[in-house]
Structure 1
Amino acid sequence: MDYAATRGRAQGAASFNLWRGTVAGASASLVGIGLARFAYTPLLPAIIGAHWFDASSAAYLGAANLGGYLAGALAAHALATRFPAATVLRAMMALVTLAFVACALPVSFLWFFLWRLASGVSGGVLMVMAAPTILAHVPPSRRGFTSGAIFTGIGLGIAASGTLVPLLLHQGLAQTWLGLAAVSLLLTIVAWNGWPHEEPAAPASTATHAHHTTHKTQPVRGLRALYAGYGLNAVGLVPHMIFLVDYVARGLGKGVDGGAQYWVLYGLGAMVGPLVSGHLADRAGFARALRIAYGVQIVAVALPLLGLGPVPLMASSVVMGAFAPGIVPIVLGRVNEMLAHHPAAQKGAWSRATTSFAVMQAVAAYGLSFLFSRTGGGYAMLFAIGAAALVLALVLDLIVAARAK
């Protein structure tokens, strides 16, 4: 019986194609985050201009996706324990596709809100489940690069938000939503058979159990610090993610076209960021890569405060664009590294990390917007808060590392 079980696991591992799995994971992040979230930004003026909804209602519809993302991140662990991962992932990608089709019909505010909420839920579930499902079958030495390739889908979505959507809008607003649905459906089909059908066998031995018992406190303390640091990193990303274009266009007087040029640079950074950060993690280790990421982002967020001219600001745009998706594979790898002896706990920990990021990102987005409006356009304050959050994340990580020695 033991021989048959071992043989079955070996056949299951052999049947999983790493390249196809990576493509499936990248397709999931592209559909669930890249398109479902970021494609709405360039659609917003068109929705208002076509009188589908007024400006305030359209803004609430954008927030619906963020709220759904948080709900999906919270629900993902429960779904993973009740249903096969491949089934959940296929269903979530299909739900995003259906939501795009539904949004082509502006039946009512409630109709649109519910479908934007549904697409956010799907994005949260896909973010939590897709990469860990693939990485569980990847050798540790290749996990950094593989996770980077998976999350490149987010960067591609950011880039597509500035290229594909404007092209589709020439055909009409409803046609744009249907075009996004077609792209989502194609990627869902591509990913359909790329998911592994079985969970890898978890190691079970007396030695492992003893290690778990002896070192239980340290991983818990480290994970809490990691969740907090990841949330603070979300705060650090918000100034560029929301205010970069407006800062260049109005704050520096470069106009809308000037702001759009810096958003293109942000998107280019987002496309390569996960691959670069994944490669860095493979070379330096996830713990060191995380500290490097914090340090580089501190400099990049602070650069607009120094007023050094366009070249440093361009570098700042590229770097922060790169880390918008690029921080994700580093933190995921760090979670898995800290729970290497407890693989069953990895998905739950990643869900909590994603929730921390989602909550802090939403709080920062609304909080900084409120401060910005109350101060009459204080851009410097926004970047200063972002840099301070990243400094706090780095200090917290260093303190925990020092206590662990």
Structure 2
Amino acid sequence: MRRRLEVYLNRETVHLVLLGMAATGMGIGLGRFAYAALVPGMIEAGWFSERTVGLMGAVNLLGYLLGAVTASSFARRYPVHRIIQCSALGIVLSFLLCILPQPSGWFYLWRFIAGMTGALLMVLGPASVMRLLPEAVRKVASTCVFAGIGVGILLSATLVPMLVKHSNSFGWAALGIAGLLVFAYMFRWPAVSFSNGQHARALDRADKRALLMAGVGVVIVAYALDAAAFVPHTVFWVDYLQRHLGWSSAAGGFQWALFGIGAILGPFLVAMLSARFEVSHTLLIALLLKSLAIMMPTFLHAPIFISLSSLAVGALIPGVVALTSGRLAELVGLEHHAWAWGLATATFALSQAFAGFGFAALYSGSFSAGSVFVLAGSLAMIGVFCLLLIKQHRVQV
């Protein structure tokens, strides 16, 4: 046991995990989630209308999709560590250059850049860390890098709303300064190649089709179903507790904090499970538990069950992300992981966009609020059945 801890707590391993956490925290926590906390302040300060800030969110998603599908192509053409560093800088500038009111076109531009660079960080950050980690610790340590998502969620849910109460510009500036500190650390990102040695052969169209048909496509479908499944918890959770279950705003806020804490702990918990079991089995169990945790609030309203749902769904959002990345690496190998993970990331974002509109219509329509969580959990359960169809550990092309 002590020997194993020494391996995992090796200085270089810890450094790589922290770099990976910085990339996922910047890419999702700041690049995407933090914007939602800034929206009320911009509307109240009269910077933009509700429609305009909504379109800015859509532009951010468009950039995220483009970054996800082009990440592996960029990685073959340019130094990966430079792409990661420039992407982190793009996130920082997207906040610092929007501190003061500007024409809407200026904000559209930087929301698009934040989305695209955020996707590059989410795809290439974990993929490059996975290549740099020693094989003995790769499976577990590469899972922990996704804890950065939870840090970003907690930051956007707590610090930003407090600052925006004083001044909308304070919120933008604080995120820019926080990002600048993380960027300074990421400047130490080691060089890593996606284009030489074992990674020289690029996939052609026939190879990609073969990989998708042999199991990669099923994993991506399950991942897309998971992306849609947790939308109600990230959009309607606090509102459901307050308006439909009669909870106070303080109690609702506490549940959102539990959600963020769970998101930080989740990758470490699934990493421990991955050390004992195969990634494929751990992913199945995690998605099954997530499905049940999503549906739980419809039937069990006691505080203990609501808190369990907050923690479990929060933990299993980055947990399933990490396990899906690891499962794709098992199926395609490190040499093609960036391509598969980029495609999965793009599909994930697209699924969430459609789910967001769909669940919003159901939640505010004649469909009961509690039933929305049942439907969402059912999507995750379908993902479980999809994963049961895959038998391969590695697909050869």
Give yes or no for TM over 0.5.
yes
- Asked whether the 8 Å contact 2:259–2:315 carries over to 1, the reply is yes
Residue number in structure 2 paired with 1:12: none
Residue number in structure 2 paired with 1:13: none
Per-residue deviation, residues 279-315 of structure 1 (Å, max 9, x unmatched): 2122211100110011101110110121342211110
- Amino acid corresponding to residue 46 of structure 2 in structure 1: H
RMSD: 2.3
Per-residue deviation, residues 239-289 of structure 1 (Å, max 9, x unmatched): 111110110111112133222111111111011111111221222111001
Change in 2 beyond 3 A, CA 1:107/1:267: same
Distance across 2 between alignment mates of 1:364 and 1:278: 28
- Asked whether the 8 Å contact 2:93–2:176 carries over to 1, the reply is yes
Among 226, 234, 255, which residue is 1:262 paired with?
A: 255
Among 37, 41, 47, which residue is 1:52 paired with?
A: 47
- Secondary structure at the residue paired with 2:390? helix
Among 180, 202, 225, which residue is 2:218 paired with?
A: 225
- Amino acid corresponding to residue 362 of structure 1 in structure 2: A
Shift of residue 199, structure 1, vs aligned partner: 5.0
- Amino acid corresponding to residue 55 of structure 2 in structure 1: Y
- Asked whether the 8 Å contact 2:75–2:194 carries over to 1, the reply is no
Aligned residue runs from structure 1 range 1-400, under 5 A: 17-169=12-164, 171-198=166-193, 202-203=197-198, 220-340=213-333, 343-375=334-366, 378-400=368-390
- Asked whether the 8 Å contact 1:151–1:274 carries over to 2, the reply is yes
Change in 2 beyond 3 A, CA 1:249/1:64: farther
- Secondary structure at the residue paired with 1:38? helix
Distance across 2 between alignment mates of 1:200 and 1:55: 44
Distance across 1 between alignment mates of 2:266 and 2:332: 25
- Amino acid corresponding to residue 130 of structure 1 in structure 2: G
Change in 2 beyond 3 A, CA 1:403/1:348: closer
Distance across 1 between alignment mates of 2:161 and 2:355: 28
Change in 2 beyond 3 A, CA 1:176/1:123: same
Distance across 1 between alignment mates of 2:70 and 2:378: 31
Per-residue deviation, residues 109-130 of structure 1 (Å, max 9, x unmatched): 2211221111011111111110
Identity %: 31
Per-residue deviation, residues 185-235 of structure 1 (Å, max 9, x unmatched): 11111011133344597559xxxxxxxx9xx95774211100100001111
Distance across 2 between alignment mates of 1:219 and 1:367: 27
Give the TM-score normalised by the residue count of structure 2: 0.89
Larger radius of gyration: 1
- Asked whether the 8 Å contact 1:144–1:329 carries over to 2, the reply is no
Residue number in structure 2 paired with 1:5: none
- Displacement over 6 Å in runs of 4+: none
Change in 2 beyond 3 A, CA 1:194/1:403: closer
Give the unaligned 5+ runs of structure 2: 1-10, 200-205
Distance across 2 between alignment mates of 1:237 and 1:310: 20
Total equivalences in the alignment: 376
- Asked whether the 8 Å contact 1:24–1:192 carries over to 2, the reply is no
Change in 2 beyond 3 A, CA 1:255/1:59: farther
Distance across 1 between alignment mates of 2:331 and 2:76: 21
Distance across 2 between alignment mates of 1:179 and 1:144: 35
Give the TM-score normalised by the residue count of structure 1: 0.87
Distance across 1 between alignment mates of 2:123 and 2:260: 23
Shift of residue 37, structure 1, vs aligned partner: 1.5
Change in 2 beyond 3 A, CA 1:81/1:380: same
Shift of residue 236, structure 1, vs aligned partner: 1.2
- Asked whether the 8 Å contact 1:38–1:157 carries over to 2, the reply is yes
